Amino acid sequence: MDLSRREVIRGALATGASVALAGCGSHSDAPRIAGGDPWRQFKGATLNFISENTAPTAAIAANLRPFTELTGINVSIVTLELSALVQRVALDLASGQAQYQVIYADPYQVLAPYQKGLVDLRGPQSDPNLPDLPGGLADFIPTQLDAAGRFVDRQAVYALPYDAPTMIWQYRRDLFDKYRDRMANDLGFDPTPGGDRTWEEYFQIARWFNENATSDVRYGTGHQARQHDSLMNDFSNVLWSYGGDYFDNGKEVGRLGTTDPGPCRLGSEAAIAGAEFYNRLLGIADPASTTWDWDGVGAALRSGRLAMCPNWHEFAASNEKAMPGKIDYAPLPKGPVGTANMYGGTGIAISANTLPHERGAAWLFLVWSTSPETQLTNLKSKAGGGTPTRTSVYALPEVRAAEHRPSSMPNMLTAAAVREAWQPDRIGLRPKIPMWNECNTAVFTQLSRMLTGATSPQEAMRSITSRVDQIVARGWVA
């Protein structure tokens, strides 16, 4: 393995890891039975899969029997909060052996910094002794394959798209129906949520609910604006729609990534204008927004506290359980330059520390867990859900039918919105750079200070720019 221990240890410490580096004693490879059914050749093997606690992993964990019956392979799943996962993965990669053969490879905190610790999946895909990916790589949604699976090299693939959470406009359909004519008369425009609405109109709608619908809802809007990764996500939608960006060539830096993004551009007039609007919007939002991440704002919407919010589309399943038929979905509003919907998808990868047979067994799990059949099962799951990352699944008649109520696959109620959000000119992709975790911390720390009034939008953007330039200037040892 060519990933330097120094690089991984430094990365682990940058995320706050304090555990000691694992020992480097040898361990035995998985068994292999030559010939016969290629799905049964690693019968008796055990795989460890480390994942963030996400919808598809919850669904798979609740229904692993089909994979075990198909392959004879046992799978143990460990789920952690993302920052803890990053620490554990970094240390495992540095150990020289794979405690976790299968890795939930967040594009920004795992793939970009530790790409050399992951297997280029073109190898197992071309191995005649291993099953092929059904539909091949071409069946994955192209923007997602690049964002979640590639880094710099346009050919190499280090992860298969596994989940696809995307931020969209979630709103109380019943309240908009009730007040639409009155709002339109008072505001002078059709308030129906959609990609043609502007952020300024979103602000006016939120303020209208604050002032005119207090018997039905406490606040017009709420946000995931805690000093946390969630704040960066929420803000970025506005930033991009105002024409601001983190670096030059932002779409390319977000889609394929780079080790040298150049100077930070958050000090631009467009970025500052976006920050000024965001600060103003949060000024009329539910004050608890600064204590919420995505779970908090999602719970507030479901409890009837909010009329609308931007949030990850996969909350649709929970929304339908709590308020069936009352919440609907649309792309986020547009700004002066365009619209952007933050993509938070992640791929599933294989540790490069795996031994040859372990690697083959892990490939079987990747093929199975991302297959159209498994993605359809996950979509129907009561335990999790998730949304497919394969084009073919969306074309299935039962999946298309589920886009409308009554729906047995409630996440599909967001399909029209996310289809628009995933278009190359609308998908929001944060910078895929090895040092993003540290840059992200600088972003949400200063944004939080801005929202509490400790600094102005202009000062916050300039402070982030200065700090990010320092981080990037240190570079990353490949």
Specify whether 263 is located in the same domain as 117: no
Which class for 335: exposed (0-12), middle (13-18), buried (19 or more C-beta within 10 A)?
buried
Q: Are 364 and 260 contained in the same domain?
A: no
Task: Share the mean pLDDT of the chain.
Answer: 92
Asked whether residue 408 is assigned to any structural domain, the reply reads: no
What integer pLDDT is reported at residue 360 of this predicted model? 98
Residue 407: inside a domain, yes or no? no
Domain encompassing residue 380: 5-165+344-395
Domain boundary among 356, 372, 395: 395
**Burial (0-12, 13-18, 19+ Cβ within 10 Å), 83:** middle
**Does residue 180 share a domain with residue 145?**
no
CATH number for 220 = 3.40.190.10
Q: Are residues 147 and 60 in the same domain?
A: yes
Q: Is the pLDDT of residue 93 over 60?
A: yes
400 domain residue, yes or no: no
Average pLDDT estimate for 157-178? 97
Answer yes or no: is 261 within a domain: yes
268 and 182, same domain (yes or no)? yes
**Which pLDDT band holds residue 477 (cuts at 50, 70, 90)?**
low
387 shares a domain with 306: no
> So what's the pLDDT on residue 34?
87
Neighbouring C-beta atoms of residue 154, cutoff 10 Å = 9
Whether the predicted model's global pTM rises above the 0.85 cut: yes
Residues 10 and 55 both lie in one domain: yes
| Domain co-membership, 367 together with 225 | no
Residue 386 confidence (pLDDT) = 77
Number of domains, the chain? 2
pLDDT of residue 383: 76
Residue with tokens 């990868």: 349
Helices 269-284 and 229-241: angle between axes, nearest 10 degrees: 120
Q: Is residue 17 part of a domain?
A: yes
Does 215 share its domain with 102?
A: no
